[in-house]
A = this chain, B = another copy of it.
Amino acid sequence: MSQSVNTLLRLRELILNGEVRPGERVSELSVSDRIGASRTPVRAALMRLADEGLLESLPGGGFAVRSFTERDIRDAIEVRGTLEGLTARIAAEHGVAEGTLADLRDTIARIDDLLGDDRGVEATFAEYVVLNEQFHTLLAEAADSPILAQSLGRAAALPFASPSGFLQAQSVLPEARLILTLAQEQHRAVVEAIANREGARAEALMREHARLARRNLELALRDRTILQHIPGGALIRRRQRT
């Protein structure tokens, strides 16, 4: 593995783990010392992470870990949901290969199996996160649009905008299973709308799906909890210490 990629991955992990705090300056040299690469690949990684939105470039040069407000998080969901709505509509309008539809339906079916699993939601949750991520990835591929994939990829790169992030957040809610089932119904409806070439309906359903994610965030925020990055770019709810 190249030093650039290695540095990128490790530095991203450090940020998401909170080992470098929001607002904190990230100098090339400090990363260079910590990771063990020279300044050149470190610089590449810093620029890349700034593009992703995890770092912000300072006026005088250099970078700092970006801090996000609740408003930012809400907006990130809106953006992602809106673009996923467009993705669904374009997929429906252009038509999707039968194989892709089969993959989507298969993913949904495997989630159904997981929901019926004896072990319960908590035990199977990690698998659910992977499968859900797969569903969203398949949907993005179904639209078969590099331009859209680029925009959506950037929007989803924000840690709290990813499905896995929100599913993690949902996992500890009492009504987790209900929410997962609701999401399943939405997934199913979107796929059928795409199969039936109903663009407007597919878009509306996908945006409704995003509204669910937003509602869950509202719950998490209202319940006196704090949001914290965890590895993989997800969020967890944790009761705030008094």
A residues neighboring B (CB under 8 Å): 40, 43-44, 47-48, 51, 53, 71-72, 75-76, 78-79, 82-83, 85-86, 90, 145-148, 150-151, 154-155, 158
Contacts and interface: CB of A to CB of B under 8 A. Distances in A.
A239 to B, nearest CB: 27
Q: How many monomers of this chain does the complex have?
A: 2
Contacts of A150: 53, 154
Contacts of A90: 75, 78
Contact of A148 (B44, B79, B145): B79
Interface SS majority for chain A: helix
A56 to B, nearest CB: 9
A208 to B, nearest CB: 14
Contacts of A71: 145
Nearest to A2: B61
8 contacts: A47-B48, A53-B147, A71-B145, A72-B145, A75-B90, A78-B86, A78-B148, A79-B83
Contacts of A158: 147
Given A47-B44, A47-B47, A51-B51, A147 B76 contact: yes
Given A47-B47, A78-B90, A79-B147, 14 more contacts: A40-B40, A47-B48, A48-B51, A53-B150, A72-B147, A75-B145, A78-B86, A78-B148, A79-B83, A82-B86, A83-B83, A150-B154, A151-B151, A154-B154
